[in-house]
């Protein structure tokens, strides 16, 4: 695959996904002909992203020792390391990394996520975190020893340019955390039953590697232990979240299909509700050294 064809394939997949999301929000998706008013209210990506289920931004112990991703990232830093966390959200990785690194800079455009990050940093007494509240594409930041990006790239149509800027700001190493399948895979069975169609999947590790190889980047890939994907502990909250994501109003035929899908697919476990038939979530840390 040539570099241009890889760039185009990446872009086209994300644009197709986003087009489907916009169609749902407009009330014109398959199965939405029974929608009462056709006015969307979900906002953002319909099956993926920061607006998704709680595993991305829920509060976590910053000193946790059972997080395989954090432990793998710890192997890349020491007390003299500076870290640049691109799209760092509410600090899932920035906060624990700040307990061991010299300094962590987080680039994050979401005001809500920044507020959560700053609150948690203050509670932990961490003073070595700087936040730049901008999109990565617009941010003017200094280079860092380690540039980290977790679960962001599958939303970025211009992936090659995004990665190129990461390389320009990395004075030592880049680390990208991605899933084999994007987080939206958990919602796909519900989408299929509500709309009678298969959504375009956002890119995951296989597509990211194709893009990197086309850019003449040959990284190391560390597969992390599989995790059982959990939608949450409260079924009512899961139902409300999926209604928002799919722009489904209560007491409509689409809602009846969604409720039937919940009855069919949700399995209650001690850790929360899982989705029947969905494979364990596999993530990878993709790393390479820069030439600087």
> What was the pLDDT predicted at 54?
41
Q: What is the mean pLDDT of the chain?
A: 89
Residue 105 has what pLDDT?
A: 99
Decide if 268 is inside a domain.
no
Mean pLDDT of 89-113: 97
> Is 275 a domain residue?
no
- Residues with Cβ < 8 Å from 98, sequence gap 6 or more? 62, 83, 104, 121, 126, 128, 129
> Residue 36 belongs to a domain with what CATH number?
3.40.50.150
pLDDT at res. 60: 80
pLDDT band at 57 (very low <50, low <70, confident <90, very high): very low
The residue range of the domain holding 43 is: 3-185+196-230+280-289
Find tokens 């997949």 and name the residue. 13
Does residue 225 sit within a domain?
Answer: yes
Query: Contacts for 14-19 with beta carbons within 8 Å, 24 or more apart?
Result: 14/154, 14/155, 14/156, 14/157, 14/159, 14/202, 14/203, 15/157, 16/200, 17/45, 17/47, 17/48, 17/199, 17/200, 17/201, 17/202, 18/45, 18/157
228-262 pLDDT, tens digit per residue, is: 999 999 999 999 999 999 999 999 999 999 999 99
Residue 33 has pLDDT above 80, yes or no: no
Q: Please give the pLDDT value at position 1.
A: 78
> What pLDDT is recorded for position 144?
99
pLDDT band (50, 70, 90) for residue 51: very low
pLDDT for residue 29: 58
Render pLDDT for 125-157 as a digit per residue (tens, 0 to 9): 999 999 999 999 999 999 999 999 999 999 999
Instruction: Flag whether 51 is in a domain.
Output: yes
Look at residue 260 and tell me if it is in a domain.
no
38 is a domain residue: yes
Question: Does residue 26 have a pLDDT over 90?
Answer: no
pLDDT over threshold 70, residue 30: no
Domain count, the chain: 1
* 24 assigned to some structural domain: yes
Phi, psi for 3 (deg, rounded to 5): -60, -45
Residue 91 has pLDDT above 50, yes or no: yes
Residue 144 lies in a domain: yes
Tokens matching residue 162: 């995004």
């Amino acid at each position: 695959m040539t570099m241009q064809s890889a760039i185009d394939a990446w872009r086209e997949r994300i644009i197709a996904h986003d087009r489907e999301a916009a169609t749902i929000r407009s009330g014109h998706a398959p199965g939405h002909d029974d929608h009462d008013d056709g006015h969307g209210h979900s906002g953002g990506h319909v099956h993926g992203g920061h607006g998704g289920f709680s595993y991305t931004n829920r509060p976590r112990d910053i000193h946790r020792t059972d997080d395989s991703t954090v432990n793998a990232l710890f192997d890349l830093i020491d007390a003299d390391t500076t870290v640049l966390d691109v799209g760092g959200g509410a600090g899932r990785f920035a906060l624990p990394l700040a307990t061991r690194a010299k300094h962590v800079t987080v680039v994050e455009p979401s005001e809500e996520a920044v507020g959560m990050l700053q609150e948690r940093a203050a509670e932990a007494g961490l003073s070595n975190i700087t936040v730049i509240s901008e999109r990565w594409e617009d941010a003017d930041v200094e280079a860092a020893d380690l540039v980290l990006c977790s679960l962001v790239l599958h939303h970025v149509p211009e992936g090659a340019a995004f990665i190129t800027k990461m390389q320009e700001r990395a004075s030592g190493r880049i680390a990208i955390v991605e899933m084999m399948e994007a987080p939206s895979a958990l919602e796909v069975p519900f989408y299929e039953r509500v709309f009678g169609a298969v959504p375009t999947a956002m890119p995951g590790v296989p597509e990211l590697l194709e893009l990197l190889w086309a850019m003449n980047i040959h990284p190391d890939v560390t597969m992390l232990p599989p995790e059982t994907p959990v939608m949450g502990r409260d079924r009512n909250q899961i139902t409300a979240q999926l209604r928002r994501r799919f722009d489904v109003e209560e007491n409509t035929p689409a809602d009846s299909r969604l409720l039937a899908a919940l009855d069919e697919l949700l399995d209650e476990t001690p850790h929360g509700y899982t989705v029947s038939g969905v494979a364990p979530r596999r993530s990878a840390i993709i790393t390479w050294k820069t030439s600087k």
